[in-house]
Structure 1
Amino acid sequence: MAPLPDYRPKQLSVGPLEAEILQIIWELGSATVKDVHDRILSDPNRELAYTSVTTVLRRLTDKGWLACDKKGKAFYWRPLLTKQQAEMIKAHEQLQRFLAVGNPDVIAAFADSLDEASSNQIEAIAKRIQAARQAREGK
């Protein structure tokens, strides 16, 4: 498993349209406003102004999710993190918030409510944590 990336967006939260556009950028690798707009409008039931796409791309850039490069007269947006890296960062943040509760009774109540598959998954995670800890101590 890859380690957590060093880079973090300035703001992790994204709205539904931001998430949709970020997904399109991940799929395309790099895209212009027109590329994203055309992809959204490929659904005949969707309407979205070109300027709205531009606004969302700029917002994602300001939040630290995208970078914008000028090539000739066109601007291309590209992701600063892969989708997998973004998922890792978000999961890490959620885990940190969960652990910040700090009340063992709350965490135990949560653990008691898990089904067998979830319990097995938690046990597998605990084993990986232990192996990583032993590897660090062995260095």
Structure 2
Amino acid sequence: MAPLPEYRPKQLSLGPLEAEILNIVWELGSVTVKDVHDRILADPNRELAYTSVTTVLRRLTDKGWLACDKQGRAYYWQALLTKKQAQVIKAHEQLQQFLAVGNPDVIAAFADSLDESASEKIQAIAQRIKAARKAREEE
């Protein structure tokens, strides 16, 4: 079971361009504005101002997704979470929102509408939860 990361960005929601640029950062590791700008402009059908990339990188830093480090005259951005950690946090958030509905009939109706594969996954999840709780009790 992937644990919930201790670090969480200040703001989880991302716009489409923010998500695209964050994916580029995850792919490349440490990036400059030029690295990201060049990657986006590699698509001949895209246009994006260099200053727009700078703005989005700063916005992602303000939201807590990236850290910025000045090395010489260049600024480098790195992700504060791995892509996998971000997926775990987002899945946790979505599950919390789903469970906040609070109506067992709604949740049961949803579960009943799932196909067999999804139902098997839910059963496997329930078994892992039971095993994790039992292991904690035995500690």
Which aligned segments of 4 or more residues in structure 1 are displaced greater than 3 angstroms? none
Alignment of 1:103 with 2:103, yes or no, is yes
TM-score, normalising length: structure 2? 0.98
Matches within 5 A, 1:13-92: 13-92=13-92
2-structure distance, mates of 1:4, 1:30: 24
Q: What is aligned with 2:118?
A: 118
User: One-letter code of the match for 1:122?
Assistant: I
Instruction: Give 5+ residue unaligned stretches, structure 1.
Output: none
User: One-letter code of the match for 1:100?
Assistant: A
Instruction: Give 5+ residue unaligned stretches, structure 2.
Output: none
User: One-letter code of the match for 1:134?
Assistant: K
Cα RMSD (Å): 0.6
Deviation at 1:3, TM superposition (A): 1.1
1-structure distance, mates of 2:65, 2:56: 11
Deviation at 1:2, TM superposition (A): 3.0
User: One-letter code of the match for 2:123?
Assistant: E
- Give the total of aligned pairs: 139
Deviation at 1:100, TM superposition (A): 1.0
2-structure distance, mates of 1:96, 1:66: 25
Instruction: Say which SS state the counterpart of residue 45 (structure 1) adopts.
Output: coil
1-structure distance, mates of 2:128, 2:16: 33
1-structure distance, mates of 2:53, 2:109: 44
Instruction: Say which SS state the counterpart of residue 51 (structure 1) adopts.
Output: helix
